[in-house]
Amino acid sequence: MTRAFAAIAFAAVAAAPTIVAADESGISFWIPGTFGSLAATPQQPGWTAAAIYYHTSVSAGGDVARAREIQIGRIPVNLTATLSANVNANVDLGLLNATYVFATPVLGGQASASLIGIYGANTTSLNGTVTGTLTLPGGGTIPFSRADSISDSVMAFGDLIPQFALRWNAGVNNYMTYVMGDIPVGAYQSTRLANIGLGHGAIDTGGGYTYFNPQTGHELSGVLGFTYNFKNTDTQYQSGVDMHFDWGASQFLTKQVQVGLVGYVYKQLGCDSGSGDRVGCFRSQVAAAGPQVGFIFPVGDMQGYLNLKAYKEFAAENRPEGWNAWVTFVISPAAPPPAVTPTKHVITK
């Protein structure tokens, strides 16, 4: 009998929102940390290929207490219950980025066009426990407790992300602007707990700055961007406008070895909306910081660059919080050797 009461109570309390996550399900188009050190520095004309491994482990939890009268058969009883729930997600993504850098200047700057493809795995679990008391009309009480959990995993292709960027160089000062979008062709089902695709389109644009002095090896970069999210037609949910700032600071110990720090701040500016949004206006935010190390080395007649960075998140609101790590390997055309001024030989008799 107690188990039957607990099942009814679980259903009654679960109707209340427990884990409030803005940016539909707490997932945004922008992956914080996408940009980092040397973000605005010029690139060599021609084709550049980048392979990125990204791992994130995040969790979120919440409690809701509820007191209400429910009816079991024809008997009215008072329910006092607390539902505790938490979600955990582990995501591993492989991103391939093909970029073509144009040799002909555009608006006095260097233009590049990229296309990013994604393949990866997502494992997500949701656990909940309801505890409470049923008070009968005669004054008797029945305590109860019940725990349930569900999990889901998927391994598939994600969305396609095109990007166009312009970069300008003025000595140690470098500037860039970009626009990118999400083409929602990845694996997505609105009824699934774990997805790789986003389920809706998005446009993101912004600009950045890099200070880089090759003589001292000092480097400092920052990129500010904004995301507009289109409505998810499967859920009738539209995430609000998002703002993100990625930064990196490093020191080149030699011309080939780089060490430093990276970080990001992510904040939702606009309210979520649409008939699928059942909790009203609320916004997400998160910040993070961590170490980085980079290496530059020759790959045949090309140049290789390997960067490792990690972030520990904090100050999260309405969004899962955890940590993530990136391994980026880039192959690009090598910089041309410096021009050599011919030496004039003077022959004396």
Query: What pLDDT is recorded for position 18?
Result: 42
The whole domain housing 294 covers: 21-62+87-123+147-332
Q: How far is CA 43 from CA 61, 158, 234, 243, in A?
A: 43, 27, 40, 26
Q: Within a 10 A sphere around the Cβ of 239, how many other Cβ atoms?
A: 30
Query: What pLDDT is recorded for position 335?
Result: 77
Could you give the CA distance from residue 305 to residue 55 in angstroms, rounded to a whole number? 20
Amino acid at 186: G
List phi, psi (to 5°) of 15. Answer: -65, -15
Q: Is residue 339 part of a domain?
A: no
Query: What pLDDT is recorded for position 187?
Result: 94
Q: Is 7 helix (H, G, I), strand (E, B) or coil?
A: helix
User: pLDDT by residue for the chain (349 residues), tens digit each?
Assistant: 444 444 444 444 444 444 556 677 778 999 999 999 999 999 999 999 999 999 999 887 665 555 555 545 555 656 675 666 778 889 999 999 999 999 999 999 999 999 999 999 999 888 777 776 767 676 677 776 777 778 889 999 999 999 999 999 999 999 999 999 999 999 999 888 889 999 999 999 999 999 999 999 999 999 999 999 999 999 898 999 999 999 999 999 999 999 999 999 999 998 888 888 777 787 889 999 999 999 999 999 999 999 999 999 999 988 888 999 999 999 999 877 655 555 454 444 4
Q: Is 14 helix (H, G, I), strand (E, B) or coil?
A: helix
Query: What pLDDT is recorded for position 9?
Result: 45
Query: What pLDDT is recorded for position 36?
Result: 94
Amino acid at 150: I
26 Cβ contact partners less than 8 Å away, ≥ 6 residues apart: 60, 284, 318, 319, 320
CATH number reported for the structural domain that contains residue 197 in this entry: 2.40.160.40
- What residues does 242 pair with on adjacent strands? 227, 268
Q: Is residue 193 part of a domain?
A: yes
Q: Output the pTM of the full model.
A: 0.82
DSSP 3: H
Q: Is residue 298 part of a domain?
A: yes
Q: Is residue 151 part of a domain?
A: yes
247 Cβ contact partners less than 8 Å away, ≥ 6 residues apart: 36, 220, 221, 222, 223, 262, 263, 264
Could you give the CA distance from residue 49 to residue 36 in angstroms, rounded to a whole number? 17
Q: Is 125 helix (H, G, I), strand (E, B) or coil?
A: strand
Domain count, the chain: 1
Distance of CA 102 to the CA centre of its chain: 29
Nearest to 94 by CA among 155, 139, 33: 155
Compute the radius of gyration of the chain from its Cα atoms.
26
Q: Is residue 139 part of a domain?
A: no
Query: What pLDDT is recorded for position 349?
Result: 41
Could you give the CA distance from residue 247 to residue 34 in angstroms, rounded to a whole number? 10
Q: Is residue 255 part of a domain?
A: yes
Query: What pLDDT is recorded for position 141?
Result: 73
Q: Is residue 338 part of a domain?
A: no
Query: What pLDDT is recorded for position 348?
Result: 45
207 Cβ contact partners less than 8 Å away, ≥ 6 residues apart: 175, 176, 177, 178, 223, 224, 225
Q: Is residue 39 part of a domain?
A: yes
Could you give the CA distance from residue 288 to residue 292 in angstroms, rounded to a whole number? 13
List phi, psi (to 5°) of 27. Answer: -115, 120
In the chain, beta strands by DSSP E: 46-72, 75-101, 110-135, 141-157, 161-170, 173-182, 202-213, 218-229, 242-252, 257-268, 285-299, 302-317, 321-333
